[in-house]
Amino acid sequence: MFTGIVAAVGHIDRVEPAPGGVRLHIATGGLDMADVALGDSIAVNGVCLTVVAFDAVHFEAEVSQASLDVVAGFAAGAAVNLEKALRLSDRLGGHLMSGHVDGTGSVTAFDAAGDNRRLEVEAPAAIARYVARKGSITIDGVSLTVNAVAGCRFEVNLIPHTLGATTLQHLKPGARVNLEADLLARYIERLHDAGSTETGR
């Protein structure tokens, strides 16, 4: 599990073919690797990846083709948001996220709003159904609060700190971003569906 509070911005040094997918070599930027062990999970642009090799300033992870088919941002040279897995003693500053990206959305607007930025994203209908005003959404691994929803489009506000501490500052209209819907929305839907089945509705 993760919180969506980005710890560092790294970049993908190189991408190598691997059985069933690719192997990423990632420079960790300022991410503290002192407590990382083989098999640990690190979210890369919101995607939970398993560490298969590492040193003080790099780690490697393998990504299956199934994951590559539904995520964006894994090209060589790309900057990536990094977060180590949540520990039970950590503060939950964002919201609970699994690192299992639901799919990608498209940036439709990225406008200045004083010192902030208004980011508008169009999500696939299958994801948009879980997006609610004042609810949580994960964009490229960043926990954000939804300010407005209109159909399949939603808006979030990015403050200067978030812009400076993540890759979101580089977004432009047309860019693809990784989206993970709030886990609570999925559980509520499942409970509702189960209740309807039990009552014969």
The residue out of 50, 84, 118 marking a domain boundary is: 84
Q: Which residue from 83, 113, 80, 107 is spatially nearest to 2, judged by alpha carbons?
A: 83
Q: What is the full per-residue pLDDT of the chain (201 aa) written as tens digits?
A: 999 999 999 999 999 999 999 999 999 999 999 999 999 999 999 999 999 999 999 999 999 999 999 999 999 999 999 999 998 778 778 888 999 999 999 999 999 999 999 999 999 999 999 999 999 999 999 999 999 999 999 999 999 999 999 999 999 999 999 999 988 777 787 777 776 655 555
> How distant, in Å, are the alpha carbons of 70, 97, 191 from that of 141?
14, 9, 26
- Whether 97 maps to a domain, the answer reads no
Number of domains forming the structure of the chain: 2
Measured between alpha carbons, how far is 63 from 60 in angstroms, rounded to an integer? 10
Using DSSP's 3-state secondary structure scheme, residue 82 falls into: strand
User: Within this chain, do residues 132 and 65 fall inside the same structural domain, yes or no?
Assistant: no
Does residue 35 fall inside a structural domain? yes
CA–CA separation, 146 and 189 (whole Å): 19
Tell me the two tokens of residue 68: 């590559």
- Do 146 and 105 touch, CB atoms closer than 8 A? no
Whether the CB-CB separation of 20 and 65 falls below 8 Å is answered with yes
Per the domain annotation, does 93 fall within a domain?
Answer: no
pTM of the model: 0.92
- On whether residue 90 sits in a domain, the answer given is no
Could you tell me the residue range of the domain that residue 137 belongs to? 103-189
Instruction: Report yes or no on 169 lying in a domain.
Output: yes
Cβ atoms 176, 41 nearer than 8 A: no
Looking at the structure, do residues 78 and 111 belong to the same domain, yes or no? no
148 and 79 together in one domain: no
95 lies in a domain?
Answer: no
